[in-house]
Structure 1
Amino acid sequence: MVNLRPVLRRARPDEADALSGLALASKAHWGYDEAFLASVREELTFRADDLAERHVVVAVLDGDLAGFYSLDGEPPHGELGNLWLRPDRIGTGLGRVLWEHALTEAAAAGFEHLDIDAEPFAEGFYLRMGAERIGETPSGSIPGRVLPRLRVRPRDRRTS
């Protein structure tokens, strides 16, 4: 793990295109083909209004956007709607930094639990961070595809 000291801050509306590109690049990291990526592009596209209205936090390293997450919903029940890293930051410890920050923010906001519709290749990360699998949920982009549905309780989480 790399010693990371990112600046964590709220996303700005003018970063919508950059975050959309980062999310799509992160998804592509898992080897999906162009047809698959085209089918999820809309779901991974952020607009300025999204960033103004939602709780989206970015990680900035060396002046560059390196990752982000979103907390969605209203307490007490919410969702970790996104957690994406630039591909060159996957496996460096930045995911854990964003995860811990998200859970701290969620607990402070009064969330009792967060649900996660996980990227299947990232399920192991979430389980290692203390989330539990509670079922499956249909993909928002691809008919017939299901995603792992996970849950974490911000106040009594386990991390390894």
Structure 2
Amino acid sequence: MTILRRALPDEAGTLTELALAAKAFWGYDEDFIEACRDELTFHPEDVGRRHIVVAEVSGAVAGFYSVDGTPPVGELGNLWVRPDTIGTGLGRVLWEDALATARDLGHEQLDIDAEPFAEGFYLKMGAERVGEIASGSVPGRMLPQLRVRVPA
């Protein structure tokens, strides 16, 4: 059974480690993961002020997303699932909840600076590629920039 709920500030470390593990799933080496650490680190105050939702499976955090920004245009700032849950449908559950949350917050669209290996997932979910954006972690690396209309 999956329970979706707001993340708690004291889960910041759990969110950080989950995001880094999910990033590492794609075969990146340790140096690359370390280069991403700052960007994927959550602090209790971040969790308290941002709209972050976790998926709890069997009492443990198995994934999370964040919806950031000011309506009408928001950002899907994160969508990560534990590597052992990839392919189980948990990503789709988080995606659908993120869109519902975005709608409830007044967003009409969400922009996504996507992990390149996750681009196919987002396209399958209905996002469209609108360009590229520079990585905030690795100089010279470009990320797919996607956009999705939030259903009314």
Q: Same fold (TM over 0.5)?
A: yes
TM-score with structure 1 setting the length: 0.94
**Structure 2 counterparts to residues 7-156 of structure 1, below 5 A:** 7-155=3-151
The superposition leaves residues 27-54 of structure 1 with CA deviations (integer Å, 9 ceiling, x where unpaired) of 0000000010010001000000000000
| Runs of at least 5 residues in structure 1 that lack an aligned partner in the other structure | none
Sequence identity percentage: 66
Q: 2:23 is aligned with what amino acid?
A: K
Q: 1:49 is aligned with what amino acid?
A: E
- Give the CA deviation at 1:108: 1.5
The superposition leaves residues 95-135 of structure 1 with CA deviations (integer Å, 9 ceiling, x where unpaired) of 00000000011111110100000000000000000000000
User: 2: distance between equivalents of 1:155 and 1:95?
Assistant: 18
Moved over 2 A (4+): none
The superposition leaves residues 43-102 of structure 1 with CA deviations (integer Å, 9 ceiling, x where unpaired) of 000000000000000000000100000000010011000000000001100000000000
Aligned residues: 152
Q: 1:13 is aligned with what amino acid?
A: P
RMSD value over aligned CA atoms? 0.7
Helix, strand or coil: the match of 2:69?
Answer: strand
User: 1: distance between equivalents of 2:101 and 2:49?
Assistant: 16
Q: 1:85 is aligned with what amino acid?
A: V
- Give the CA deviation at 1:144: 0.4
The superposition leaves residues 5-46 of structure 1 with CA deviations (integer Å, 9 ceiling, x where unpaired) of 310000000000011000000000000000100100010000
Q: 1:23 is aligned with what amino acid?
A: A
- Give the CA deviation at 1:154: 1.0
